[in-house]
Amino acid sequence: MERTSIECCAGINLKSVLRNLKYTILMAAVLLARCLPAEAQQPTKMPRIGFVSGTGDPNTPGFQVEAFRQGLRELGYIEGKNILIEYRYVEAKVDRIPNLVAELMQLKVDVFISGHPVAIRAAKEATKSIPIVIMALGDPVAEGLIDSLARPGGNITGLSRLTRDLRGKRLELLKEVVPRISRVGVLWDAVTVPGQRGLAFKNYETAARDLKIPLQSLEVSGPNPDLEGAFRDAVKGRLSAVITARTTVLVRYPKRIADLAIKNRLPSMYEGSEFVDQGGLMSYAASDADIFKRAAVYVDKILKGIKPADLPVEQPTKFEFAINLKTAKQIGLTIPQSVLFRADKVIK
């Protein structure tokens, strides 16, 4: 009788233990199921972009940075929430560029982006693995940056701005606007691209010969160029007009250059519309705002897994011809209606 009672008690205790064990397992499963979605919702590592800008500074980033940011926003990227951008500004100090690029490489950025030729070259030499998105001023194939526009190869892709290829068009426009044009000066700085001294001037020589327009070099040295001295030389040389090359140093002085051209009653042509906004007479160039905005598309594709080697380099499809009529009036120049009709932007 005692033995049966003990066995019953043991059986009851065993069933209780089993029930408790099943309950514990069930609760653990419920808790695990609740935890898994929470872990899945944990934020992933935000991609980090390295951007070396040839214009602007930390306080006033400039239109290139703003256009890139706009492109990112339209693709759903918000700085600080799902993407991080490390900005570095050249601020006309070209000798700093290798260090700026090295800083970004040390941060292991997911994509490097720049439109500055020295920064692009430094990045190419610094890495073979980090994707590089460029906004090249000239022909990236001829400059040895990529294999071809259709199949860039390596870790570089992006867009070409064709800045140098438009030099003939700028001279043609000056010839239409300036009566009896005889001699044109090219304002450029010698420190923009080390090892390529005089390139900004030489780029215009072939087109000038074809149009039978003599050129005069107006060379300055940065980062504090003697612009007044360059314009004294222009007046002394009896120039009909001046073209300002868009270099890292000169883009910092659009108003000063425009004011000097007006003061000396010299028609002026530029490689970017920001000069016309500050009082320059005319500019003809690919739309930088459009190009830097398009650069965001390349960054997006790379972050989604497409290799730079498989992304064709785009050439510009949008060009902008800008005229400042107020400036024309100040220097006593009448812009022909046939030229005005072709302008994309007219400042009155």
Cβ 134 vs Cβ 114: under 8 Å: yes
pLDDT at 224: 87
* pLDDT level of residue 94 (50, 70, 90 thresholds): confident
- Looking only at the bridges linking them, the beta strands covering 319-324 and 282-286 are antiparallel
* pLDDT level of residue 121 (50, 70, 90 thresholds): very high
Residue 111 has pLDDT above 60, yes or no: yes
Cβ 117 vs Cβ 139: under 8 Å: no
Which residue is it, tokens 């070209």?
A: 94
pLDDT at 313: 95
Q: How far apart are CA 103 and CA 119, in angstroms?
A: 12
pLDDT at 30: 54
pLDDT at 321: 96
- For the chain, give the mean pLDDT: 87
Residue 122 has pLDDT above 80, yes or no: yes
- Looking only at the bridges linking them, the beta strands covering 345-347 and 319-324 are parallel
Residue 216 has pLDDT above 90, yes or no: yes
Residues 320-335 have pLDDT tens digits of 999 999 999 999 999 9
| Averaged pLDDT for residues 295-301 | 97
pLDDT at 1: 46
pLDDT at 137: 75
pLDDT at 112: 98
Strand ranges (E), 60-197: 84-89, 111-114, 132-136, 156-160, 184-189
- Percent of the chain surpassing pLDDT 90: 64
pLDDT at 33: 54
Domains (range + CATH), the chain: 48-162+288-310 (3.40.50.2300), 164-286+319-347 (3.40.50.2300)
Cβ 181 vs Cβ 243: under 8 Å: no
Q: What does the block give as tokens for 109?
A: 């950025």
| Averaged pLDDT for residues 7-27 | 56
pLDDT at 15: 59
| Averaged pLDDT for residues 247-272 | 92
What DSSP character marks residue 79? B
Q: How far apart are CA 184 and CA 104, in angstroms?
A: 41
Residue 12 has pLDDT above 80, yes or no: no
Q: What does the block give as tokens for 68?
A: 């890139």
* pLDDT level of residue 303 (50, 70, 90 thresholds): very high
Q: Output the pTM of the full model.
A: 0.74
Cα-Cα-Cα-Cα dihedral of 62, 64, 108, 101, to 10°? -70
pLDDT at 88: 96
pLDDT at 269: 97
pLDDT at 139: 81
Which residue is it, tokens 């003990």?
A: 6
- Name residue 97's amino acid: I
Residue 147 CB burial class (10 angstroms; 0-12, 13-18, ≥19): middle
* pLDDT level of residue 72 (50, 70, 90 thresholds): very high
| Averaged pLDDT for residues 53-77 | 92
Residues 25-57 have pLDDT tens digits of 656 555 555 555 544 444 578 999 999 998 888
252 CB neighbour count, 10 Å cutoff: 20
| Averaged pLDDT for residues 206-230 | 91
Residue 314 has pLDDT above 90, yes or no: yes
| Averaged pLDDT for residues 336-348 | 95
Query: Closest Cα partner for 318 from 279, 273, 285?
Result: 285
Q: What does the block give as tokens for 209?
A: 């010969």
pLDDT at 25: 62
Residues 151-201 have pLDDT tens digits of 999 999 999 987 667 899 999 999 999 988 999 999 998 765 545 556 678
Q: How far apart are CA 264 and CA 227, in angstroms?
A: 12
pLDDT at 84: 97
